[in-house]
Amino acid sequence: QVQLVQSGAEVTKPGASVKVSCRASGYIFTDYYMHWVRQAPGQGLEWLGWINTNSGGTKYAQKFQGRVTMTRDTSISTAYMELSRLRSDDTAVFYCARALAVDQPLLPADCWGQGTLVTVSS
Amino acid sequence: DIVMTQSPDSLAVSLGERATINCKSSQSVLYSSNNKNYLGWYKQKPGQPPKLLIYWASTRESGVPDRFSGSGSGTDFTLTISSLQAEDVAVYYCQQYYSTPFTFGQGTKLEIK
Query: Shortest CB distance from B61 goes to which of A49, A110, A115?
Result: A110
Nearest-angstrom CA–CA distance, B9 and A88: 26
Q: What local confidence, expressed as pLDDT, does residue A23 receive?
A: 98
Tell which of A32, A33, A106 to mutate to test the B interface (max B CBs under 10 Å). Answer: A106
Contacts B105 to A, Cβ<8 Å: 44
Interface residue B103 vs chain A (CB under 8 A) = yes
CA distances from B109 to A1, A42, A57, A76 (A): 30, 12, 36, 38
Q: What local confidence, expressed as pLDDT, does residue A102 receive?
A: 86
Answer yes or no: do A108 and B52 touch at CB < 8 A: yes
Q: What pLDDT digit, counting tens, does each position of B36-91 carry? A: 999 999 999 999 999 999 999 999 999 999 999 999 999 999 999 999 999 999 99
Contacts B36 to A, Cβ<8 Å: none
Averaged pLDDT in 10-residue chunks for chain A of 122 residues: 97 98 98 97 97 97 97 98 98 96 88 98 94
Sign of CA dihedral A119, A111, A43, B1: positive
Query: Shortest CB distance from A106 goes to which of B38, B51, B104?
Result: B38
Nearest-angstrom CA–CA distance, B27 and A8: 38
Query: Shortest CB distance from B97 goes to which of A95, A106, A112?
Result: A106
Q: What local confidence, expressed as pLDDT, does residue B77 receive?
A: 98
Q: What local confidence, expressed as pLDDT, does residue A78 receive?
A: 98
